[in-house]
Amino acid sequence: MSHHDQKKCECKKYHGRNSFWDGPGLSRRQFFKIAGTAVTGYYFLPIGRPLEIRAQTPSVSLQNTARNCIYIHLDGAPSHVDTFDLKEGSWTPSDFAPTSFGSIRFPQGLMPNLATQLHRITLVRSVRAWALIHSLGQVWKQIARNPAAALGKIAPNIGSVVAYEFDKHRTAGQLLPAFISLNSANLVGPGYFPAQYANFDVTPSANGLANVTHPDGQSRFNTRWSLLHTLDNPLRENSPLGRPPEDMDQFYTSAKGLMYNSVINSIFSFTAAEHTQYGSSSFGDACITARNVVKSNQGSHFVTLNFGGWDHHQNIYAKPNGIYGRAAQFDPGLAALLSDLAALPGFSNGKSLLDETLVVAGGEFGRTVGALNNQSGRDHFLQQSVLFAGGGVRGGVALGSTDPQGAATLDPGWSQGRDIKPEDIAATIYSALGIDYTTELFNDPLKRGFEYVPFAKDGLYAPINELFA
């Protein structure tokens, strides 16, 4: 692939829709702007409409081993044969220092910190993507279906489904949205789901959340808040307009709870020492924030981190960039996250926070195998690997195996006896969180029926149960 083609590949994007009306998810700025204006807007009246009765398959068995999920999107697609499914040859840099850890062959020199965490990790090597277009593959794994399918443009993010399912477990003191996104890029929002299940998008900063104070001060803000309720309460309480104004009032109240709140601000703040421990990078900062979010027990159960830049068509082994530059951030950040979660107590007796948090990391596809291309890089390839840890996952093993080149699956390593697809990974996440992945809702605008994982109720896709101890 030429440099021109590479740039064309990166720039020509498939845009996943955030809602049926192509509206965005709620950014941090938008979220607080609504709370601080004291202007009632009917744009948000549909927020929070209850979803309709759903159908489920009664015989489904769920893992139910986790209460949180941290999903790390390695956008650009890392080379599986240089990372999670190492294949050695004349092309392999000597400083990769390939080392055997039990049955796992791993590039210890490239990712020395993760090498110390392999006992907590399962590397799934029998994954095969559906498509080789970046944005198409990125959206596919976020919505567990073909983005070009009938419901592809209005399907919610997996995180929005999790937010909807966990909504019934929220308590009055939990102030954070259920779905948090960090350093997001090409992120799918709530689709046709109500906006209350949208991602709350944050760019991590050591100083915490921005826009959590009013420019005219807290006293002035409180005065405006009181005035708003004086004017609007007759329409908000027992409203003749029905449920929407009550839902809008709940939205305002939830946003206000994040303002002038030292507990919330501490979740999104971190020290210089933590910044250094996690690798002194934006990815590391996102890992710190993800740790704080799940530790806080403030109502968030699904956190996404986007860490791109893995599209190494050229000079993949050229220091300090190429795969070295990406690994220099990914390795200390993820290793510190796993280590800290394992050391923190969970919310169930005898469990750590890692025991209760499923961590998933992977790209949208893999990269070509064997010798490098004529630009000293690797191009797009369907075969790939995905990392799992925590949430009941047994560590220290590789699940599935590929041929000596890493080009195709030899042993799928699981009961379905085939390549693992993005739909299977979604089913695995749902199952670990105790969510029935065969659920079908009958409230979509197209009236076709929305399945959490399409055709899962027919047995076409399934959780990777072999991951779990």
Lowest pLDDT segment from 232-241, 259-268, 289-298, 381-390: 232-241
Reading the block at residue 64, the tokens are 């139910």
| Closest listed residue to residue 112, CA positions, set 346, 330, 357, 438 | 330
Q: Tell me the C-alpha distance between 293 and 302, whole Å.
A: 9
pLDDT reading at 302 higher than 70: yes
In order of 5, 41, 354, the CA distances from 398 in angstroms are 35, 52, 19
Q: Give residue-wise pLDDT tens across range 185-210.
A: 889 999 999 888 989 999 999 998 88
For residue 387, the model assigns a pLDDT of: 98
Lowest pLDDT segment from 37-51, 140-154, 411-425: 37-51
| Closest listed residue to residue 399, CA positions, set 14, 85, 4, 51 | 85
For residue 269, the model assigns a pLDDT of: 95
For residue 17, the model assigns a pLDDT of: 40
Q: Tell me the C-alpha distance between 332 and 57, whole Å.
A: 42
**pTM for this structure?**
0.87
For residue 233, the model assigns a pLDDT of: 74
Q: Give residue-wise pLDDT tens across range 130-174.
A: 999 999 999 999 999 999 998 999 999 999 999 999 999 999 889
For residue 190, the model assigns a pLDDT of: 93
Q: Give residue-wise pLDDT tens across range 259-281.
A: 888 888 899 999 999 999 999 99
- Please name the residue that has the structure tokens 């421990």: 277
Burial of 301-335, coded b for 16+ CB within 10 Å and e otherwise, reads bbbbbbbbbbbbbbebbeeeebbbebbbbbbbbbb
In order of 34, 47, 146, 295, 389, the CA distances from 234 in angstroms are 20, 19, 46, 39, 51
Q: How far is CA 56 from the centre of its chain?
A: 25
Q: Tell me the C-alpha distance between 24 and 176, whole Å.
A: 19
Helix, strand, coil in percent for the chain, rounding step 5: 35, 15, 50
pLDDT reading at 9 higher than 60: no
Look up residue 332 and give its amino acid. Answer: P
For residue 334, the model assigns a pLDDT of: 98
In the chain, what are the domain boundaries?
A: 3-467
CATH fold for the domain made of 3-467: Alkaline Phosphatase, subunit A (3.40.720)
| Closest listed residue to residue 117, CA positions, set 422, 351, 438, 337 | 337
For residue 5, the model assigns a pLDDT of: 42
For residue 46, the model assigns a pLDDT of: 38
pLDDT reading at 34 higher than 90: no
Which residues lie across from 383 on neighbouring strands? 128
Q: Tell me the C-alpha distance between 447 and 151, whole Å.
A: 10
Q: Give residue-wise pLDDT tens across range 437-460.
A: 999 999 999 999 999 999 999 999
Lowest pLDDT segment from 69-83, 224-238, 294-308, 366-380: 224-238
For residue 20, the model assigns a pLDDT of: 37
